[in-house]
Structure formats: structure tokens, C-alpha cells
A and B are shown apart, each in its own frame.
Chain A
Amino acid sequence: MQQLRLTRTRRVALIGLAGALAVSLSACAESKREEGAGGGTGGTMIFGAAGNPKLFDPAFNDEGETFRITRQIFDTLIQNKPGTADLEPSLAEKWESSNEGKTWTFTLKSGVKFSDGTAMDATAVCANFDRWYNMKGAAAQSQMIYYGDVFEGFAKNEGDAAGDPVYKSCEAKDPATAVLNLNKAKGAFPAAFTLPSFAIQSPTAIKQYNGDTVTQSGDSFTYSEYANKHPVGTGPFKFDSWDQAKGEITLSRNDSSPSPAKLDKLIFKVIPDENARKQALKAGDINGYDYPNPADYGLLRNDGEQVLIRPSFNVLYLGINQSGPNAAKLKDPRVRQALAYGINREQFVKSKLAEGSEVATEFVPKVISGYTDDVTKYPYDQQKAKDLLKAAGAEGMTLKFYYPTEVSRPYMPNPADTFTAISEDLKKIGVNIEAHAEPWNGGYKDDVQKFGKQDLHLLGWTGDYNDAGNFVGTFFGREKKEFGFNNPELFSALAAADASPAGDAHAKAYQEVNKKIMDFLPAVPIAYPTPAIVVGPKVKGLVASPLTDERFNTVTVS
């Protein structure tokens, strides 16, 4: 009997082993052993990314972790000067607008080639503009968030794309001259040409690997081989591989780039947990990472790491809903002013935000063209706040204050802390606070932006490009549930500013808008927080960018 049992045990063990083998065989994924590295001298940089990239065709992308990678593979026509939001030439040596902003002429750098060896010339540039405009299919267009926002419509609108297209045509006058014709002027230009979604890609590679094919099946999208495996641009790095099992994206130096890299290799290692990224840096597994916790700056520096503070390109605000539960009271400008005077923003910024952060006086950060110091300000004044509430008959009112949990944003590293500080201040002026905490992806954004259930809420914005419209236009350009007001004068002023061609007049228009906003006070700007990026002591040459537009071509790792 014992003999028999042993055999049975063995048989079960064998079945188990066979099962494990079957699983492992189905999991087969062969990865090739790398050949020897090139002869560069800049070393290898391993950067800890907070999330997976989505795909490598920036036209279909709108999130930072993917852009961080595509920014190294592709160039845009114009780029941001490192460390600033100012414009400088990239693929276009110069650019000018005429016909009241409806025509843009780009003079391209000559002799530039994509990493597949094909020419980056005016024909290629126009092929990109035509590609975006003519993109077919709801799946494709619903994924072109930035194109949809900036160019407002497609040749044939499908899915969420609706509206009259801004784009008209693109002509390649000669290999070095591309002329873009628009149906109407758009204040976002030329700054929006720096958006990573508008990077110039190799038309040959796109065609070869079916780059335009985006299909939708069930509740998900399928992207092309181009978007997953063969992105081709003119950037300082070429795409090598994306190892899903390891969560590593490997790029290597593109020697034909007009802005060649010093590094031989650039590896992005996905480490979603912030503490895990910190550990990995400490252990020397990675050479840098993004979104360090402000509370760790000191510790990181003590360990010899470099904490690079980015100039602020975002704003944190206290939203006020004029159609919420307390609509009648919050419609009274005196009540909104009282809220603004009642918050000790100096104290909050000093005690709760990272170094370099500043009190916000309006809804655009200082580096944006259109910012003005000449707005109505609401310095901390408890007594004035109380008096205003009394005059408005709103003493002792109770407000529903919503704040998010399970989230950390560059403009709001710790929402609960922010909520506590602000609500304590408001209690001091005699406002009762009814707290509502909700998970960011689990109802908060819906309740606040879609249903407008709140009286007050915390939110903010990180800019995409250097244009005030990207901030104030997004917030206050039309009637929204989030703020619940209808101010036609403000809406039309914003629309006019957006349609004014770039330049001094454009900046002036937005300065006027910013004054109007701070008089009307639809919300209270709280702070311009400064996110940081950390690199190890051996990393040289990384310039922190307000737009998180760090380019690794200047970096070396010793």
C-alpha cells in the first residue's frame, strides 16, 4: 500500500511538473542577447519612470510617461529652450506667420535624416500634417487628444472629434520650406508646435509598419506595429526594444540626429511605486527618477543625490462652484472674495509645499506669456474676510468641500494636507466645512467636473505649452459644471484672446483676461508648486524643464 501511495504521489508531482512546463512553454519569449555596445563615451543612463508608456507614436498619446520617451526619439519643428518655456529652433531653423496668423512658414534645417535614412524635408513635414488631419476612424481620432484640442477638427470628424478644422493645407515649397495654411488664426501657435504630439515622424516608416491603423475591439484599442516596435524620428536616440517582462525601454544613440546624444544608451525602467524608485536610486539600480516626494528632498541630498527643482509650470486652485448646493451664497462676489482673503496662502506654501513654490496671484504661472502682476490681489486678511461674509449675510454658512485621495499630482503632492490647511483657515473666518474625500479615479473627478456636487474643491493643472489659453481657456472658457457660472463677457474675451495671433497683442489680450478673472474670482488660485526630478551624483548635464521636457542628449553618466 505504501508503495502504491508513493507512486501516486509521484504521479501527481509529475502532473504538476508537466503543468508548470506547459505554462512556461506558453510563456516563451525569446530575447536576443545584445551585441557589443557602440564606441560612445557618455555611458548608460537608467531612468526610473513612474508608469508604463502607452505606445511610441506620439500622435496618439497624451500622457507624460510616454512623452518622456518619445521626446528622445523625435524632434518637433520648434522646441522649448532647455530649462525654460521659451521657444527655440529645432527642425525648423526659423518660422514666421503671415496672413494674420493663418499662414506659417517653416524654414527647415537642411540635410537632416530620420534614423531610417530617409530625408526629413518639407515633404516629410507636410506628410505629417496631412496624416493627422486625414486620420480616419473613431478609435484613431479619439486617441489624438492634442491634435483634436489644438486643430479642433479632422478632414472627416469621427468619434469625439467634432468642429471646424483649423488646418487647411501644407505645401512643400522646396525641400527646406514648408508652408502651413490654416482656416483661422489660433493663439496657441507657435507655442503648440512644441507639443510632443506634433513631433515629426518618418512617413516611410509609418507607411511600412501601418502606423495609421488603430482599431477598436471590445473595450480596448489595438495599435500598429509602428507604434509598438518601430517608431522612427530624428531625435538623439533610436528605439531599440521594449521588454514588457522587465518593464524596460531601451534606446540607443542616433548618430544621424541633428542633436546627437552623448550617452550610448538610455534605458527607462518602469517603477510605479515612488518609494521603490527612491530605493532603486539609493541602491544604484537607476541613475535618476521623477516625482520625488517633497518630504524626501533633504534626505536625498544628504545621500549625495541631485534634486533638480523645475521652474513652476502649474497652478493649484481652490475651485468654487456657483451652481452647487450653496449657489445663492457663492454667486455673491463678496463671499468669494472673503474665501480668498481668508486663506493664509503664504503660510501654506511655506509649510506644505516644496522649496521654490510660490503663492499664486492668478491662474497662469509666471513664466507664461500673458501673466501680469497687475491683477487684484487678495492677501491674507482674516478680519476683512469676516466683514465681507457679514456684509453678504453668509456668516456661519456650511460648504461642501471636496478633495481627492489616492493621488499625488505635481501641483498637489498631498491633497489631504492641502485640504486640512485650507479648511482650517476657512473655519477661522466662520465658514463651516463639510469634508468629502473621494478617490481621484474613483469618483472625485466625476463628482466635481461632471456633476458639480461640490461647493469647494481642490484641483490644478500642469501646462502643455507656453500659452495662457492652455490654462485659463481650459478652466474658464465656457460654462462648466466645475465652476457653475455663466459669464458671457469673460467667455468672449477668452475666445478673442485665443483667436489673436501670437505676439505682444496676444500676450496683452491674456493680461486683460487675467485681470477680469481675478476681479470676477471664479476660483481662488493657491500656489505655483515646483515639482523636482532627481538624478544620482554621477549624472551630469541634465537640465530640469518646467514642462517636464527633459532631453537626455546633453547628459553623461560617469
Chain B
Amino acid sequence: MLRFLVRRLLQAIPTLLILSILVFAWLRSLPGGPAAALLGDKATPEKIADLNHVLGLDQPIFLQYFGFLGRAFTGDFGNSLVSTQPVMGEITTFLPATIELGFTAMLIAVIVGIPAGYLAARYRGGPVDNGVILLSLIGVAVPVFFLGYMMQDLLASPLGLPSQGRQTTGLDATAITNFAILDGIMTSEWDAVWDAIRHLILPAFALATIPLAVITRITRASVLEVLNEDFIRTANSKGLTQPVVRRRHVLRNGLLPVVTTIGLQTGALLGGAVLTERVFNFRGLGFLLAEGIERRDYPRLQALLLFGAVVYVLVNMLVDISYGIIDPRVRVR
């Protein structure tokens, strides 16, 4: 397992280097630039050219890249052009919100998705199955931002749920880790815990829709496939009780592709978080990213996109590892 891990880590280095080059080149190929966005309405072509000169953006792109890489190795990703704050500091400040939101969304997706998929497969062709298929289709098809706005407009007020931010303004909860719920528990500020949970509900459900739908469908398909396998027939003919067959054979074998999907969807959640965080003003990394793109904030975008790549690589590694745990054959190979 250790060798496997080391090999995967070493593989990640060239991947990240190539990604950093792509990110760097892509940002600089975008029309417009930070200078125009920074100067706003008062930007004249002359002022933009001069600011580009001051920022070094008129230098050859490879010089800019090596400068960036050199500073990045020392942990200096520069300051955001929008907020003027160090980008690394921004990431650590905003990351807990995204983890909180993404974790909750994934939890919803798994808790609801796996049983739903399983039930659909078990009662294949029946009304439960058809209902689940329809709902999961809708879940995949409806854009997150549209759903978000709908939830805000139609659900927030009747349910008495906040549709904005992570915390009621003026609540003044103590921030220790920036994980709102965790902080509230640590300081026994139960008002703050409840407030944070209420703020999470709508955005987490909005963000959960796509992974929920995908997990449901994969679970359903996978369980159906397993149900047709020979070993299930064998298990049944051995006279095992149905609950034992389902738990020990159907579920365990059926979950393998679901785990991969959960891993991949965790990566995709980062993408969904950009829209969800923006719509719900839930200040996490997605929120930072959206603002950065609008303002062509190179330093922030470079750091965030690379950070996203690192997370993606790590998640994929975790998926592989968990694969090995569920299915020992993978390790042997």
C-alpha cells in the first residue's frame, strides 16, 4: 500500500506542473485582463497599458510563469487584485465554508442517493423505480443556479430559512476554525450552531442535487447488475436469508462503482460550489473563484485553480485507496 501511495504521489507532480502551465496560459489567453477589470469605468487604453507594465504583464509569458513558479515554491501566491489580501490567507479563510457546504451536500447525496438507487433496483419497473428515475433525471438536468434561485424565491420565506450567507449578520459567533458548526459546538454557542445549520440547508440541497441524482442512478444500475450475477443465484440457492444476501453480496459488490462516483462527484462539487456559493452568498472558495473570474484576478485564480487540481488529485488517490479496501483484487494487481 505504501509503495502504491508513493507512486501515486510521484505521478501527481508532473500532472500538477502541466496543470499549472495550462492554468497560467489559459488565464493569460482570456480577452481583457486584470488591468482593465481593476481600472473599471475609468480605464483608458493608456492606463491599462501602464498598469500592465507595472504589474509585469507585458513581459513574455514564460518569464511571468517562472516568476510565478519561483514565488509559488516559497508559498507566495501573491495578493488578490480584488481584495488586495494575500491569496493563501484568502484560501485558508474561505476553505472551511466550502468543506462545510460540500461535506453536507455529499452527505445528503449519499444518505438519500444510495437507498433510493437500491430501492429502485429492487423494485425494478414499479412506481418506486419510475419515480426515482424521473426525479434523478430532473436532478441532473436542472442547472444549479436556477434551482438555487427557485429555492430562494419559493422556499426560503415559507420555511423560514435564511437564503443568504453563512451566519445571521450581527450574531457575532466566535470564530476559531471558521467551521461555523464546529466552532459553535466548541464554544457551546448553541444559537450559533442552529444558525449555521439553518444557513446550510438550502445551499446544501441545491448543491446536492446533481451528485444525488448521479449516485442514485449509478447505485441502481450497479445493484441491478449484481442482482443478475451468478453468485447471487448461488447465495440464494444456498438458502441464505434475503437480508443477508442483500447486505453481504448485493450491497457490498454493488457499492464499488458508487464509491468511484462519490469520489468523482466530490471533485465535481467544487464546480457546482462556484454557482451555489455565488447564488446563496455562501462565502467559500467557489465564491472567491467567481469573483476572481469576473475581475480577471490572476493571482487568485492561479492559486485557486491549482488548489482545486491538488484536491482533485488527492480525492482520486483516496478513491483508489478505498477501492483497495472494498475490493482486495485491486491491491493485488
Q: Which residues of A contact B165 (CB under 8 A)?
A: 246-247, 269, 271, 280, 285
Alpha-carbon distance A149/B41, docked complex (angstroms): 14
Once the chains bind, are A283 and B164 in contact (CB under 8 Å)?
yes
From B42-50, B107-115, B133-141, give the one contacting chain A: B42-50
Instruction: Write the chain B residue with the least CB distance to A214.
Output: B84
Instruction: Write the chain A residue with the least CB distance to B83.
Output: A52
Once the chains bind, are B178 and A28 in contact (CB under 8 Å)?
yes
Once the chains bind, are A245 and B279 in contact (CB under 8 Å)?
no
Given A220-B81, A275-B152: 10 more A-B contacts, CB < 8 Å: A27-B179, A28-B177, A29-B93, A29-B175, A145-B42, A160-B51, A217-B71, A276-B152, A279-B153, A449-B45
Alpha-carbon distance A286/B85, docked complex (angstroms): 25
A26 contacts which of B37, B84, B85, B92 (Cβ < 8 Å)? B92
Chain B, residues 30-59, CB within 8 Å of chain A (1/0): the string is: 111010110111111111101101111100
Query: Is there a chain B Cβ closer than 8 Å to A81's Cβ?
Result: no
B84 contacts which of A51, A228, A272, A442 (Cβ < 8 Å)? A228
Once the chains bind, are B42 and A139 in contact (CB under 8 Å)?
no
Show the binding face of B for A, using Cβ within 8 Å.
30-32, 34, 36-37, 39-48, 50-51, 53-57, 64, 67-68, 71, 76, 78-85, 89-90, 92-97, 99, 149, 152-153, 156-157, 162-170, 172, 174-179, 182, 278-281, 283, 290-291, 294-296, 298-299, 318, 321-322, 325
From A17-25, A109-117, A364-372, A526-534, give the one contacting chain B: A17-25
Alpha-carbon distance A220/B283, docked complex (angstroms): 22
Alpha-carbon distance A44/B50, docked complex (angstroms): 42
Once the chains bind, are A160 and B54 in contact (CB under 8 Å)?
yes
Query: Is there a chain B Cβ closer than 8 Å to A351's Cβ?
Result: no
Instruction: Write the chain A residue with the least CB distance to B294.
Output: A441
Q: Which residues of B contact A9 (CB under 8 A)?
A: 325
Smallest Cβ distance from B169 to chain A, in angstroms?
5
Once the chains bind, are B32 and A441 in contact (CB under 8 Å)?
yes
Once the chains bind, are B325 and A12 in contact (CB under 8 Å)?
yes
From A30-38, A198-206, A321-329, give the one contacting chain B: A30-38
**10 nearest CB pairs, A to B:** A160-B50, A443-B31, A450-B45, A24-B177, A220-B79, A220-B78, A441-B32, A31-B175, A218-B78, A142-B54
B53 contacts which of A159, A283, A446 (Cβ < 8 Å)? A159
Query: Is there a chain B Cβ closer than 8 Å to A540's Cβ?
Result: no
Once the chains bind, are A450 and B48 in contact (CB under 8 Å)?
yes
21 CB contacts below 8 A, A to B, read: A12-B321, A24-B96, A24-B182, A30-B175, A33-B172, A33-B174, A142-B50, A217-B78, A273-B278, A273-B281, A275-B149, A276-B163, A276-B279, A276-B281, A279-B163, A280-B281, A285-B164, A438-B31, A441-B294, A441-B295, A446-B31
Alpha-carbon distance A492/B178, docked complex (angstroms): 59
Smallest Cβ distance from A285 to chain B, in angstroms?
5
Query: Is there a chain B Cβ closer than 8 Å to A222's Cβ?
Result: yes
Alpha-carbon distance A28/B53, docked complex (angstroms): 36
B164 contacts which of A31, A279, A450 (Cβ < 8 Å)? A279
B162 contacts which of A34, A63, A227, A285 (Cβ < 8 Å)? A285
Smallest Cβ distance from B12 to chain A, in angstroms?
16
Query: Is there a chain B Cβ closer than 8 Å to A3's Cβ?
Result: no
Alpha-carbon distance A58/B172, docked complex (angstroms): 28
Query: Is there a chain B Cβ closer than 8 Å to A384's Cβ?
Result: no
A276 contacts which of B51, B54, B167, B280 (Cβ < 8 Å)? B280
Q: Which residues of A contact B34 (CB under 8 A)?
A: 219
A216 contacts which of B55, B97, B149 (Cβ < 8 Å)? B55
Q: Which residues of B contact A227 (CB under 8 A)?
A: 84
Query: Is there a chain B Cβ closer than 8 Å to A550's Cβ?
Result: no
Once the chains bind, are A8 and B178 in contact (CB under 8 Å)?
no
Query: Is there a chain B Cβ closer than 8 Å to A341's Cβ?
Result: no
Smallest Cβ distance from B35 to chain A, in angstroms?
9
B169 contacts which of A28, A159, A248, A440 (Cβ < 8 Å)? A248
Q: Which residues of B contact A44 (CB under 8 A)?
A: 170
Once the chains bind, are B169 and A219 in contact (CB under 8 Å)?
no
Q: Which residues of A contact B93 (CB under 8 A)?
A: 27, 29, 244-245
Instruction: Write the chain A residue with the least CB distance to B291.
Output: A272
Alpha-carbon distance A510/B123, docked complex (angstroms): 81
Once the chains bind, are A54 and B82 in contact (CB under 8 Å)?
yes
Show the binding face of A for B, using Cβ within 8 Å.
5, 8-9, 12, 16, 20, 23-31, 33-34, 44, 46, 51-52, 54-55, 62-63, 138-139, 142, 145, 149, 159-160, 216-223, 227-228, 244-248, 267, 269, 271-273, 275-276, 279-280, 282-283, 285-286, 409, 438-446, 449-450, 461-462, 481
B36 contacts which of A244, A275, A445 (Cβ < 8 Å)? A445
Once the chains bind, are A283 and B156 in contact (CB under 8 Å)?
yes
Smallest Cβ distance from B328 to chain A, in angstroms?
8
Most buried by B among A34, A218, A285: A218
Once the chains bind, are B56 and A219 in contact (CB under 8 Å)?
yes
Smallest Cβ distance from B81 to chain A, in angstroms?
6
Once the chains bind, are A219 and B64 in contact (CB under 8 Å)?
yes
A159 contacts which of B42, B54, B82 (Cβ < 8 Å)? B54
Q: Which residues of B contact A62 (CB under 8 A)?
A: 39-40, 42
Most buried by B among A26, A27, A219, A280: A219
Once the chains bind, are B325 and A286 in contact (CB under 8 Å)?
no
Smallest Cβ distance from A39 to chain B, in angstroms?
18
Once the chains bind, are A34 and B42 in contact (CB under 8 Å)?
no
Smallest Cβ distance from B227 to chain A, in angstroms?
23
Alpha-carbon distance A269/B162, docked complex (angstroms): 15
Alpha-carbon distance A441/B30, docked complex (angstroms): 9
Instruction: Write the chain A residue with the least CB distance to B57.
Output: A219
Q: Which residues of B contact A12 (CB under 8 A)?
A: 318, 321-322, 325
Q: Which residues of A contact B168 (CB under 8 A)?
A: 285
Alpha-carbon distance A246/B195, docked complex (angstroms): 14
Alpha-carbon distance A462/B42, docked complex (angstroms): 9
Smallest Cβ distance from A303 to chain B, in angstroms?
11
Smallest Cβ distance from A492 to chain B, in angstroms?
20
Contacts known (A27-B95, A139-B54, A245-B97); A283 close to B162, Cβ less than 8 A: yes
Once the chains bind, are B67 and A218 in contact (CB under 8 Å)?
yes
Once the chains bind, are B178 and A24 in contact (CB under 8 Å)?
yes
Most buried by B among A5, A29, A228, A481: A29
Alpha-carbon distance A551/B110, docked complex (angstroms): 50
Once the chains bind, are B299 and A220 in contact (CB under 8 Å)?
yes
Once the chains bind, are A439 and B325 in contact (CB under 8 Å)?
no
Alpha-carbon distance A269/B47, docked complex (angstroms): 31
Once the chains bind, are B177 and A244 in contact (CB under 8 Å)?
no
Smallest Cβ distance from A287 to chain B, in angstroms?
10
Once the chains bind, are A31 and B174 in contact (CB under 8 Å)?
yes
Alpha-carbon distance A449/B92, docked complex (angstroms): 39
Q: Which residues of B contact A279 (CB under 8 A)?
A: 152-153, 156, 163-164
Contacts known (A12-B321, A24-B182); A220 close to B92, Cβ less than 8 A: no
Smallest Cβ distance from A106 to chain B, in angstroms?
27
